[in-house]
Structure 1
Amino acid sequence: MLIFLSAVFFLIVTPGPGVLSTAGVGAAFGFRAGLRYVLGLFIGTNLVALAAISGIAAVVLSVPTVRTVLLILSVAYLAYLAAKIAFAGSKIAFIEARSAPGIKQGLLLQAINPKAYSVNITLFSGFAFASDNLVLEAGLKLIIIAMIWVPIHLGWLYAGVVLHRLDLAEKTQRKINYAMACSMLLVVALAMLSMRGVG
């Protein structure tokens, strides 16, 4: 079980679209908006976990066309979120972010997030510690993952909120928002490269 705990920690703590967008929402829109977004991510990641447990995710992702469509949707949606974070507070009329991403946006991100699928498939298909009772093992894994997932995401949110609360000059805050958005796009590019290697 210790190996499973380590795997969960390192797979979740590494920057992916979920944690980076959480920090970005915190930095751009503050704590309350960030909490709603994290709740959506949490619901979404658990739905992806259920798809991994049931085997649906593995079957669906084994179809190259479906994988490609999910990747395209993921890239487009992450680019949209990155733009929303980058231009938070901006007065550029055609892209001004008037509302923060919320529960629905967090849920949608996890539904098309390649990292969410690969992490959950890895965690639920490997690291057996109660193979004589798969239901118990799956339940314990869900609890363990949540106990690690929640503090990590709240930590990233807090880091973003601290940046938000520093009351930095508008120009500096905009640069931070751009950096957060660029980091998300970099993760997308890495996910695309890794999925091309798998395909």
Structure 2
Amino acid sequence: MLTYVAAVILLIITPGPGVLSTAGFGAAYGFRPSLRYVLGLFLGTNMVMFAVISGLAAVVLSVPWLRVVLMAGSVGYLLYLASKIAFAGTRIAFIEAKSPPGIMGGILLQAINPKAYAVNTSLMTGFSFAPDNLLFEITSKVLITNAIWIPIHLAWLWGGVVLHRLDLPEATHRKINYLMAASMLGVVALALWSAARGAA
């Protein structure tokens, strides 16, 4: 279960469209006005999670080659994000906010967010800790994921607000990007380790 908790933290905290847009909205509109957008992301990520649980997870578990393909796609996407962040240079790699935040905007982003599907597929089909009681494992995973998801996204939101107020030197911007990229590589390592355990 501790491995699962570590995976959730690394998978959610690392930059993707959800957390980067959350930070972008925080920087552009402030903390309280952006909470509606975060609520939309929360609803959207749970919709994706239950879509995975109710159908995709069963397909992936029953078709080994499809599971490998999806894992490869997830790892490839995470590596792409890591490289994009690492080479962002002196600009902190937040997604720029172009319109006011709202609940529906958050839901729609998660519906088309490949990281949301990759993360939820990885979490719900991997990192097994109660293989003899699937209902307990899935219920625990949903509760653990949401308990970690909420404070992480609120922290990203607040981080966007705070970073907007600071006049950081260019070297600090680079270090922040490298740290985010390193976290993404940690997710890749965990995903590959979990896949290797499942194949053994």
Give the Å deviation of 1:184: 0.8
CA RMSD in angstroms comes to 4.5
Aligned to 2:117: 111
TM-score, normalised by the number of residues in structure 1: 0.61
Distance 2:183 2:148 in 1: 23
**Mapped partners of 2:43, 2:126: distance in 1:** 14
Contact 2:86 2:178 in 1 (8 A): yes
How far 1:142 moved relative to its partner? 6.7
Query: Separation in 2 of the partners of 1:55 and 1:105?
Result: 16
Return the alpha-carbon distance in structure 1 between the equivalents of residues 161 and 6 of structure 2. 20
Does 1:127 find its partner at 2:136?
A: yes
Shift of 1:188: 0.8
Give the counterpart letter for 1:150 in structure 2.
I
CA distance in structure 1 between the aligned counterparts of 2:75 and 2:42, rounded to whole angstroms: 17
Identical pairs, percent: 39
5+ residue gaps, structure 2, are 29-33, 98-105
Residues 75, 191 of structure 2: 8 Å contact kept: no
Contact 2:15 2:184 (C-alpha < 8 Å) held by counterparts: yes
| More displaced 10-residue stretch of structure 1: 175-184 or 81-90 | 81-90
* CA distances 1:31-54 after superposition (whole Å, capped 9, x unpaired): 258x668855752443222331x2
The number of residue pairs the alignment matches comes to 177
**1:70, CA displacement in angstroms?**
1.0
Aligned to 2:154: 154
How far apart, in 2, do the equivalents of 1:125 and 1:44 lie?
21
Match of 1:48 in 2: 49
Which residue is 2:31 aligned to? none
Per the alignment, residue 191 of structure 2 pairs with 191
Deviation at 1:181, TM superposition (A): 0.7
**Contact 1:41–1:107 (CA<8 Å) still a contact in 2?**
no
CA deviation string 1:119-146 (max 9, x = no partner): 7987993339xxxxxxxxx8xx978965
Deviations for 1:63-113, whole angstroms, at most 9, x for unmatched residues?
A: 22111111111111112222332333558xxxxx79559926972102122
1:159 positional shift:
4.2
Structure 2 CA distance for partners of 1:37 and 1:43, relative to 1, 3 Å:
same
Secondary structure, aligned partner of 1:167: coil
Amino acid at match of 2:26: F
**Structure-2 separation of matches of 1:117 and 1:84:** 27
Q: Relative to structure 1, is the Cα distance of residues 38 and 86 closer, same or farther in structure 2, using a 3 angstrom cutoff? A: farther
Q: Is the 8 A contact 1:28 1:85 kept in 2?
A: no
Q: What residue is the counterpart of 1:132 in the other structure?
A: none
> Deviation of residue 60 (structure 1)?
2.0
Greater Cα shift, 162-171 or 71-80 = 162-171
Instruction: Work out whether 1:15 is the aligned partner of 2:9.
Output: yes
TM-aligned CA distance change 1:146 to 1:118, over 3 Å: same
